[in-house]
Structure 1
Amino acid sequence: MEVMKILTNTADLDNMFYSKNSYRAWIGLSGDSWRWSLSNTSFYKPGETEFRLWAPGQPNDGYSYKVCTWMGYDGLWYDDRCDISCYPVCADVRGSDVTFVFINNRVTWTEAQSYCRDHYTDLPSVRNMAENQKVQAVIPAGCYAWIGLFRDPMKWSDGSTSSFSFWKNGQPDNNENETCVAADFSQSGTWEDWPCDVERAFICYGPGEC
């Protein structure tokens, strides 16, 4: 909070001219993109990691705590809290062959990830509709199961982590294209998520600062 007070006191509102009567400037926070638990890039072919099969209205990212994904027995995907209990589906990757195994034990997403990594390869990375149908086929009717898609938390550009946040009410609203953060100095420097290609004033560290 001390840093936010310094920024607010030193912000030159007259020169934040990118948006009339709106005094916002970029800070170094960004992220919130969806990615797969299995990070082995040799597993993917170009473009395959972009496959998504969200249910209508999903992901409803306005709820910032919904950062994990489960698949329903209908084959559609839903974002949800990571600490609820779902059945895991594990992926067993052997070269170009992938098999999927339903685990009849309800656990959290993190517990599912650990179990799959210990006993198989990882939670499933669904690369195309054919694989989605294979995962769907192992989920019993009426059940839903964790898959490997999760949303990265926000990160600072210098790689540091901090539990401090200063979001404006209703923020972040986490629209999928809003992955950068600006501070609104007309409202005490409170934070908002914005598309990264919007033009804003910006703040840099001065000489000798760290």
Structure 2
Amino acid sequence: MEKVLLIIIALSGLSAVSSHAERQYHFVYEAKNMSEAQRYCREKHTDLATVDSMEVVELLNNMAGQYNQSAWIGLHDDWDTWRWSMSDPSFYGPGETEFRQWGPGEPSNGHDEQCTHFHRSGIWGDHDCNNPLYVVCFDVTGPNATFVLIERGMTWTEAQSYCREHHTDLASVRNLADSQRIESSAGGVYWIGLYRDSWKWSDGSFSSFEYWAENEPNYIGLKVCVAAAFNNFGKWEDLDCGVDKPFICYGPVPVKPDMTPEPAVSTVPVVPVSMKVIKVSVENPNGVDLNDPAFLDAMLVEAKKNLRAQGLDDNVQLAWRKQPDGQVFHEEEEKKRDEL
């Protein structure tokens, strides 16, 4: 027989609130998938949380309190948003920013394929931005463009820097005529200016701040959404967007009648949190590793069902308490077993 501690965290409300600078964060303990969480945040507040500094990370960790699992934030991997390095809207006619000549099966939207190459046949493909390829720059005068082919291998970032220094930018291919002009001189595979920024925040904002856990993102399966893991200091992990989890919204900080914003300080979460520790004894079934993560998860699911049958609501969170050696279950000593 082995014994372990099962922690039950009971949350008596639906959300906790803290403020930081111009944003007020709302920790919602009701579990939803990413799309449902995003819809809730946009209806009730502004959007899913944008985490763009260590100060915000620390605030959210304080809000989480004794909640030691993960919760959705607004970061997701946007496979379909492609845009041109040359961003001046006056250069493009109607529909020209959306002109594409993808080859069969392209773009494949691989996580490491975020830049576009132009094959001498005129067909495009998405490609690893770090591979060295030839380059198509262009010089822009009003609505007109002169294409310049550089047959020297560069990464996409190096190509963009080179083209912006010596010409106008990496080439935009706006229509079939532009494509045919490049094809007429092309002799290989070239970078053009179309690329995508993979990770984006739900509210459309951009930030270079990252707080990934070790070996994350790991891109296994359909993991294109991000949660903050509060059993790991709020570090980020990529997960399947369809998983139901608590989530964090943000909205504007309330303004006082004299139009003076509330002080930008962290506040204690308004949701009372209680924790109960229950000892669980289990007879070891033949050949079953009681510390196997799959077995532990299955036991939590069954425990949650039993608690729900006893009238406890879904705000109750369950977690195993690990011992200092990282294991959950330990075999009892003979003396203690006899006492039982």
Normalising by structure 1, report the TM-score.
0.70
Shift of 1:57: 1.0
Residue identity matched to 1:28? G
Contact 2:28–2:247 (CA<8 Å) still a contact in 1? no
1:58 touches 1:79 (CA, 8 Å); kept in 2? yes
Number of the residue aligned with 1:34 = 82
Alpha-carbon distance between aligned partners in 1 of 2:144 and 2:94, rounded to the nearest angstrom: 18
Q: Does 1:152 align with 2:197?
A: yes
Inter-CA distance 121–194: structure 2 relative to 1 (3 Å threshold): farther
Matched ranges for 1:11-22 at <5 A? 12=29, 15-16=31-32
Deviations 1:46-100 (A, max 9, x none): 2210111111111111x21111111111111111111111111111111122111
CA distance in 2, matches of 1:90, 1:12: 51
Q: Which has the higher strand share?
A: 2
> Whole-Å Cα distance in 1 between the matches of residues 247 and 240 of structure 2?
14
* Structure 2 partner of 1:101: 148
- Mapped to 2, the partners of 1:70 and 1:112 lie a distance apart of 12
Asked whether the equivalents of residues 28 and 249 of structure 2 are also in contact (C-alpha less than 8 Å), the reply is no
- Extract unaligned runs of 5+ from structure 2: 1-26, 38-69, 254-264, 268-340
Letter of the structure 2 residue corresponding to residue 125 of structure 1: S
Distance 1:86 1:151 in 2: 18
User: SS of 1:103's equivalent?
Assistant: strand
Contiguous gaps of at least 5 residues in structure 1? 1-9, 175-180
The change in CA–CA distance for 1:83 and 1:11 in structure 2 (over 3 A counts) is same
Quick check: 1:47 aligned with 2:64?
no
CA contact (8 A) 2:73 2:228 kept: no
Amino acid paired to 2:199: M
Q: Give 2:178's aligned amino acid.
A: E
Q: CA deviation at 1:44?
A: 1.1
Q: Could you tell me which residue of structure 1 aligns to residue 54 of structure 2? A: none
Alpha-carbon offset, residue 194 of structure 1: 5.1
Q: How does 1:188-199 map to 2 (within 5 A)?
A: 190-192=237-239
Contact map agreement 1:168 1:192 (CA 8 A) in 2: no
CA distance in structure 2 between the aligned counterparts of 1:53 and 1:173, rounded to whole angstroms: 28
1:18-167 to 2 correspondences below 5 Å: 26-30=72-76, 32=78, 33-61=81-109, 63-140=110-187, 143-156=188-201, 157=203, 159-165=206-212, 166-167=216-217
- RMSD across aligned C-alpha pairs, in angstroms? 3.5
Aligned residues: 182
Identity across matched positions, percent: 42
Letter in 2 for 1:35: R
**Following TM superposition, where does structure 1 have runs of at least 4 consecutive aligned residues deviating by more than 6 angstroms?**
none
Q: Which has the higher contact order (CA 8 A, sep 6+)?
A: 2
